[in-house]
Amino acid sequence: MDALITRFLLVVGWVTLLSGGAQAETLASQTLAAIRTSHRLTCATVQNLDDWSEDAIHGDLSALGGEICRAVAVAILGNADGLTLQPFPSETDALAAVQAGSAQLAVGITPEAATAMHFGMGFGPPVFYDSQRIMVSKRSGIATLADLRDQLICARDMSPAERTLRDEMTARGIPYALASHSEQGEMDAAIAVRRCAAGTGMESRLAQSRANFHALVTDFVFLPDRLTLNPVVPAYRYGDQAFGLIVDWTIGALIEAEALGITQANVATTAKRDDMRADQLLGHDFSTAQALGLAHDWTVKIIATTGNYGEIFQRSVGRPFALDRGLNALWTQGGLMGPPPMR
């Protein structure tokens, strides 16, 4: 009898789980139709405000996220008039908005298995590659990690960056002293006045801090070493394949446009180009547009609105943070940015 009851409860549990999953997929599949019906796309961006959350390891990439959101809106709606950007102080808040249905897309998310399961998210391709780096003053004479022997290094207290620094320096046999800071602003001040010989954290975070050093901005540089690789991606509800594919191929189109030299300024004339990759990107062969259910000139409209990925990068994070392309350069230029086949 007990065995029968146990088996019954297991069956009920599986039915409940499967029906819940089916319901989630049904809700997700309605996203694209709802956007088109309402002519509105609500997109969450992540500001990663100082000291808001210990999990906020990146700098403020919300300007970059907003540009990606704008491109997705143009792909689906033909223009960005129906786009609403919702800035959130942390990734958790942005993901909760997508989970609740108050936003359809979040850009600026760290892809993690726990996040995917907890919030029911799917992840798109990276829109930015961040990495942990070490920033020093030019006047310090420090050029390599080995030069940090017995030097004082600033880091956020109990942060992933602090732990990674410990592991790397231990593995390399380089002794150092650590100055732990509970607040980002406190750490920034210590770096600016050279109270510590170096500071470590995500490149985007350090670059944003450096941008606030005013007259001292050009005095600080990064050591060549990258201690981690941390992609930043868009997130949407898991199971929403039609919407997710549009997000993914929109990002790919921005990258491919840069690779082909197609810019916001020349896209109208470049649309007349007669070569295979340009045909595939700009919709002359219709195959990608038909597969995604979009207008044949969807990429032309996107590029005319936002420019290509390189243009977006420069105005959103490159110039504001004095940040070079680095890992975010095209694959043809030593970076990691590459598109899927535009077909």
Tokens representing residue 200 in the block: 């470590």
> Token pair of 160, please?
């992933």
Give pLDDT tens digits for 193-242.
999 999 999 999 999 999 999 889 999 999 999 999 999 999 999 999 99
d(CA 139, CA 238): 50
Sign for the pseudo-dihedral over CA of 300, 302, 305, 310: negative
Taking phi over 0 as left and psi of -120 to 50 as alpha, with beta for the rest, 243 belongs to alpha
Question: Is the confidence at residue 180, as pLDDT, over 60?
Answer: yes
Is-contact 197 140, C-beta < 8 A?
yes
pLDDT, residue 343, reads 82
C-alpha torsion sign, points 128, 129, 131, 135: negative
The pairing of beta strand 41-46 with beta strand 83-88: parallel
pLDDT at 215: 87
Contact indicator for 76, 38 with CB cutoff of 8 Å? no
3-state SS, residue 222: strand
18 pLDDT above the threshold of 80: no
CA distance 120 to 202: 26
Q: Worst-scoring range by mean pLDDT, 109-118, 140-149, 248-257, 281-290?
A: 281-290
Which of these, 112, 115, 109, 114, lies nearest to 128 by C-alpha position? 109
Distances (CA, A) of 71 to 55, 110, 136, 309: 28, 20, 36, 10
Which range, of 32-41, 50-59, 77-86, 192-201, averages the lowest pLDDT? 50-59
pLDDT at 286: 80
Minimum mean pLDDT range among 45-59, 92-106, 274-288, 322-336: 45-59
Cα(307)–Cα(103) distance, integer angstroms:
24
Q: How far apart are CA 129 and CA 228, in angstroms?
A: 10
User: pLDDT of 47-75, one tens digit each?
Assistant: 976 554 556 689 999 999 999 999 999 99
Residue 274 confidence class, pLDDT cut points 50, 70, 90: confident
Q: How confident is the model at residue 29 (pLDDT cuts 50, 70, 90)?
A: low
The Cα–Cα gap between 273 and 223 comes to: 42
pLDDT at 187 over 90: yes
Under a CB-based contact definition with an 8 Å cutoff, are residues 294 and 76 in contact?
A: yes
Q: Please, is 258 exposed, middle or buried when counting C-beta atoms within 10 Å of its C-beta (0-12, 13-18, 19+)?
A: buried
Percent of the chain with pLDDT over 70: 89
Distance, in Å, from the CA atom of 3 to the CA atom of 145, rounded to the nearest integer, reads 63
Assigned token pair, 207: 């670059």
- Check residue 107 and give its pLDDT: 98
Task: Give the pLDDT confidence score for residue 284 in this predicted structure.
Answer: 77
**CA 105 – CA 42 distance, rounded (Å):** 7
Rounded to an integer, the average pLDDT of 28-44 is 90
Of 100, 74, 121, nearest in space to 244 by CA: 121
| More confident: 283 or 189 | 189
Band (46; pLDDT cuts 50, 70, 90): very high
Q: Which of 93-102, 103-112, 210-219, 299-308 has the lowest mean pLDDT?
A: 210-219
User: Which are the contacts of 265, defined by CB distance < 8 A and separation ≥ 6?
Assistant: none
- What structural domains does the chain harbor? 31-130+230-333 (3.40.190.10), 132-222 (3.40.190.10)
Nearest 10 degrees: CA dihedral of 81, 278, 261, 291? 40
Q: Is 117 left (phi over 0), alpha (psi -120 to 50) or beta?
A: alpha
Residue scoring higher pLDDT (271 or 106): 106
Length of the chain: 343
pLDDT score recorded for residue 62 = 97
Angle at 9 (CA atoms; ends 7, 14), nearest 5 degrees: 95
Is 133's pLDDT higher than 50? Answer: yes
Burial, 147: exposed, middle or buried (Cβ in 10 Å; 0-12, 13-18, 19+)? middle
Average pLDDT over residues 161-188: 96
